[in-house]
């Protein structure tokens, strides 16, 4: 078994490895993209970019140098907490806010530190609603709920501004319930009702617009048009929806012309194979991909490829899915390695290698897979008493493949046993 100390050291060096192998892109590009995503309320994209950049640059820093003489305040854990907070995942938000506070550097930004504490307090209240502060009630009963009503309205406004319409709706409804229950702040009820309607419409519009975009990207123009028309029914002045509708209608017109052309060609030559079957498989595979059922989606597109081996849409989407799956397997393999489950880690990285080797433009990710595969194989070999010579041979072979992809790769000697280090020494 791998000791806790060793796991900790391996984790540290894994971060350094990923810095050189995975992140040819500049870390600050991911970070700045994440900040833009946060401004636009694109929480999932912001979270993805922040999680990527933390793998390369884990420690927050004020005036972190990016390029030339350009400096930025690098506070990834605060922003991760912020994104999860407005996404409504208070458990993860709380975790990242607490992590940010552990780095006392956040206190240098008094405004952000104040916001952090406020949001952290809200997270704790959301996660433990039965736990309430016990303070002496020195105010008259008739006005005891008024501050709470105003707090719910303010919280709803904040969520609305940050495009989390679901949580905004929740806060406004709480305010309405308290107003109707107590009769306090009754003058605000019409305004709160308007906010509820507005938030509900926005929430539904976002859902419909997202659905329309997915249909459009999958080539399902009829359902895309229906969804975007529903958006415009709720919000007639929604300019992005208007632009998408025009794109959909243009795409439908082009598809119609192309279909007529195929029909004409088919009638003057030999009967063409119907593409109805492959289109149905593509549609089902795309649905599974959207649901993040990547392995099932892959099987659908493999089936579509068997029907039409030269279909460029099928080949492109299959490549995207297999790349996504490979990254998933690498991440799972890393997690298994850090917890000492070496055999399972080896299997996951082998699956990643198999997928990435099918293409010639995934060398960066392939090198990471080879790295963790070979180290896990070597660790397994030595931890089981050096009895499986085949395992050691495979580890050496994968190290050679790693060096072919990344000739300048160097293992950090202080974090690994001499036996592991020796395997990575160039002959």
- 226 shares a domain with 302: no
Top mean-pLDDT range of 17-21, 106-110, 131-135, 383-387: 106-110
Report yes or no on 35 lying in a domain. Answer: yes
Report yes or no on 4 lying in a domain. Answer: no
- 285 shares a domain with 253: no
- 246 shares a domain with 183: yes
- 402 shares a domain with 284: yes
Please, are residues 248 and 217 in contact by the beta-carbon 8 Å criterion? no
Question: Collapsing DSSP states into helix, strand and coil, what is residue 72?
Answer: strand
pLDDT band at 78 (very low <50, low <70, confident <90, very high): very high
- CA neighbours within 13 Å on the CB side: how many for 20? 15
Write down the pLDDT at residue 76: 92
Angle value at C-alpha 284, between 324 and 288, nearest 5 degrees: 40
Query: What are 387-399's pLDDT values in tens digits?
Result: 678 888 898 998 8
- 373 shares a domain with 334: yes
Residue 61, beta-bridge partner list: 74
Q: How far is CA 197 from CA 148, 165, 190, 234, in A?
A: 21, 11, 11, 11
Please, are residues 126 and 85 in contact by the beta-carbon 8 Å criterion? no
- 189 shares a domain with 287: no
- 247 shares a domain with 180: yes
Q: 129-165 burial, b if ≥16 CB within 10 A, otherwise e?
A: eeeeeeeeeeeeeeeebbeebeebbebbebbbebebb
Question: Domain end: 95, 127, 159, which one?
Answer: 127
Top mean-pLDDT range of 8-17, 269-278, 373-382, 410-419: 373-382
Report yes or no on 394 lying in a domain. Answer: yes
Provide CB contacts within 8 A for 81, sequence distance 6+.
92, 93, 94, 95, 96, 97, 99, 100, 116, 119, 120
- 403 shares a domain with 294: yes
Comparing 93-97, 137-141, 198-202, 403-407, the range with the smallest average pLDDT is: 137-141
Angle value at C-alpha 390, between 385 and 393, nearest 5 degrees: 100
In percent, the amount of the chain with pLDDT more than 90 equals 4
Report yes or no on 390 lying in a domain. Answer: yes
Split into its structural domains, the chain has a count of 3
- 344 shares a domain with 227: no
Domain range spanning residue 156?
A: 145-262
pLDDT band at 4 (very low <50, low <70, confident <90, very high): very low
pLDDT band at 79 (very low <50, low <70, confident <90, very high): very high
- 404 shares a domain with 303: yes
Query: What are 355-397's pLDDT values in tens digits?
Result: 988 888 777 788 888 888 888 888 888 777 666 788 888 989 9
Report yes or no on 150 lying in a domain. Answer: yes
- The pLDDT of 44-57, averaged and rounded, is 86
Report yes or no on 2 lying in a domain. Answer: no
Provide the CATH number for the domain around residue 402. Answer: 1.25.40
- 404 shares a domain with 292: yes
CA torsion through residues 117, 122, 126, 128, sign: positive
Write down the pLDDT at residue 260: 52
Write down the pLDDT at residue 75: 92
pLDDT at residue 17 is higher than 50: no
Please, are residues 171 and 155 in contact by the beta-carbon 8 Å criterion? yes
Provide the CATH number for the domain around residue 33. Answer: 1.25.40.10
Report yes or no on 169 lying in a domain. Answer: yes
Burial of 224 (0-12, 13-18, 19+ CB in 10 A): buried
Report yes or no on 343 lying in a domain. Answer: yes
Q: What is the pTM of this model?
A: 0.40
- 290 shares a domain with 155: no
Query: What are 151-165's pLDDT values in tens digits?
Result: 889 888 888 887 788
- The pLDDT of 289-301, averaged and rounded, is 87
């Amino acid at each position: 078994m791998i000791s806790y100390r060793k796991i900790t050291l391996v984790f540290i060096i894994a971060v350094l490895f990923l810095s050189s192998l995975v992140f040819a892109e500049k870390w600050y590009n991911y970070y700045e993209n994440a900040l833009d995503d946060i401004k636009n309320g694109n929480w999932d994209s912001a979270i993805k970019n922040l999680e990527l950049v933390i793998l390369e640059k884990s420690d927050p820093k004020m005036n972190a140098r990016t390029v030339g003489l350009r400096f930025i305040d690098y506070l990834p854990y605060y922003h991760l907490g912020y994104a999860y907070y407005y996404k409504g995942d208070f458990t993860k938000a709380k975790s990242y806010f607490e992590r940010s506070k552990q780095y006392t550097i956040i206190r240098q930004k008094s405004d952000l530190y104040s916001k952090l504490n406020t949001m952290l307090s809200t997270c704790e209240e959301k996660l433990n609603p039965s736990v309430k502060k016990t303070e002496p009630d020195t105010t008259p009963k008739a006005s005891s709920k008024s501050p709470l009503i105003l707090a719910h309205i303010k919280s709803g406004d904040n969520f609305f501004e940050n495009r989390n319409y679901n949580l905004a709706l929740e806060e406004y409804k709480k305010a309405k319930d308290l107003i109707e229950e107590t009769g306090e702040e009754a003058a605000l009820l019409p305004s709160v009702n308007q906010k509820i309607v507005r938030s509900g419409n926005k929430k539904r519009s976002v859902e419909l617009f997202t659905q329309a975009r997915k249909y459009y990207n999958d080539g399902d123009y009829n359902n895309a048009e229906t969804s975007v028309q529903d958006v415009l029914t709720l919000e007639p002045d929604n300019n992005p929806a208007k632009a998408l509708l025009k794109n959909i209608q243009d795409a439908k017109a082009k598809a119609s012309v192309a279909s007529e052309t195929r029909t004409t060609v088919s009638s003057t030559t030999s009967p063409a194979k119907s593409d109805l079957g492959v289109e149905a498989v593509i549609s089902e595979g795309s649905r599974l991909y959207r649901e993040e059922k990547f392995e099932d989606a892959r099987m659908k597109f493999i089936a579509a490829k068997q029907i039409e081996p030269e279909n460029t849409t099928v080949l492109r989407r299959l490549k995207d899915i297999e790349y996504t799956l490979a990254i998933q397997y690498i991440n799972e393999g890393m997690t298994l390695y850090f917890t000492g489950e070496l055999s399972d880690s080896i299997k996951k990285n082998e699956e990643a290698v198999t997928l990435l080797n099918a293409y010639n433009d995934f060398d960066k990710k392939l090198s990471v897979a080879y790295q963790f595969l070979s180290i896990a194989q070597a660790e397994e070999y030595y931890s089981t008493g050096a009895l499986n010579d085949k395992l050691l041979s495979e580890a050496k072979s994968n190290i050679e493949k790693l060096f072919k992809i990344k000739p300048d790769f160097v293992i950090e000697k202080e974090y690994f046993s001499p036996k592991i280090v020796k395997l990575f020494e160039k002959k």
